[in-house]
Amino acid sequence: MTPPITSAPARVLTPRRAAPADSVRPTRAEISLSHLRHNLTELARIAGTPVWSVLKADAYGHGAKAVARTLERAGSRGICVALIEEGIELREAGVVVPILVMSGHYGNAWPELLRHELTPVLSRVDQVRSLAEEVRERAGPAHGVHVKIDTGMARLGVPPSELESFAGVLRQHPELRLEGLMTHFASAESDAPFVELQLDRFDRATRLLEQLGLRFRVRHAANTAALLAHPRARLDLVRAGIGLFGLAPGVAGVSGLRPAMRVRSEVISLRTLAAGASVGYGATFRATRESRIATLPMGYGDGLSRALSNRGHVLVRGRRAPIVGAVSMDLTSVDVTDVPGVQIGDEVVVLGSQEGPLGSDTLSAEEIAAHGGSIAWEVLTGISRRVPRFYRED
């Protein structure tokens, strides 16, 4: 006889990140805590309203636990994550400010959400009912929630046509306390008229819910681009993500933000190739002259995109050197023929700034993304967990 299937509490296991103490090879990501604090202060100054830090995807690759503790002490009023697992990780790291879980409610995870005092964003009536049932069974106080309104993103959120019926279900469950309303912009970086349209829809949805007897404390909509470019979108709080890490893609005239991540490695091999010799898998690069080729211990397994093969650059001795051949999983070759004096052990910067004996230069996440046909967000979040993060104050 087949035993009955029972529902067990969710177990959340977070993959362990490589720590500096585990590091043998010289490849690492350096995170400036002072730049994080500066960016938070600058964004709060511009917004003129409380900032909640969006730290999903391991704080955009910067390391969520260290970043969250730093920003909490620096005055972030709350934290936003995508998944319940991400929120649990921060609670277990000692973070006490409110944590808003914006999109990750899967399986039997409500007990863990309640136990760790996380605030969910709801957008379906089945979520309302199942969470309310869990709160009722625990015989605890009403649990705070936010509700997301779909104003044009068309992913998550209550569609305007369903808002009245959704509100009716929510009113039937006093176990839940409505604390906030939110929406999400589709094109805050590039389409001001659509931002205005979404805000108009959000205002109409707000008035409808108020007419239906629902009350809430805050409304929020703005991401980094919206808080910088659209004052109307700042509302009661702003959700700053990429701006905390020093980027403001698509928003002109913002110069006060400082990149927080720098990724560096070292030259571990040097060789001279004759004209006509090839480099790497598939022989996709052939030297047109006698060339000096350096190898660094970083590849696509670490987040150096394979799309940068024969297209991207690194910095060596303060000068750009092109990536040649195919980026492999663990190693990458660069042409240092035009960089005099390169030796084994020289620093190689993959992302960020370098000052060297031949000058100074910067490789921004936006530039790397453009070379690789990607976006800056993916460049940052793509730096893998096997690259240790070193946290610095300068």
Per residue in 311-321, pLDDT (tens digit) is 999 999 999 99
Provide the whole-model pTM: 0.92
In this prediction, residues 227-248 reach a mean pLDDT of 96
Per residue in 360-370, pLDDT (tens digit) is 999 999 999 99
CATH of 261-392, picked from 3.40.1670.10, 2.40.37.10, 2.40.30.110, 3.60.21.10, is 2.40.37.10
The sign of the CA dihedral 320, 323, 327, 330 is negative
Average pLDDT over the chain, rounded to an integer: 93
Token code pair at residue 317? 């001795």
Query: Catalytic one among 60, 65, 106, 281?
Result: 281
What is the reported pLDDT for 5? 41
Judge: domain 48-245, CATH 3.40.140.10: no
For residue 311, the tally of other CB atoms under 10 A from its CB is: 15
Answer yes or no: 106 catalytic.
Answer: no
What is the reported pLDDT for 163? 96
In this prediction, residues 47-55 reach a mean pLDDT of 97
261-392 shares the fold of 48-245: no
What is the reported pLDDT for 304? 97
Which sequence spans correspond to the domains of the chain?
48-245, 261-392
Query: Catalytic one among 56, 60, 148, 300?
Result: 56
Q: Is the pLDDT of residue 273 over 70?
A: yes
Q: Is the pLDDT of residue 48 over 80?
A: yes
Answer yes or no: 281 catalytic.
Answer: yes
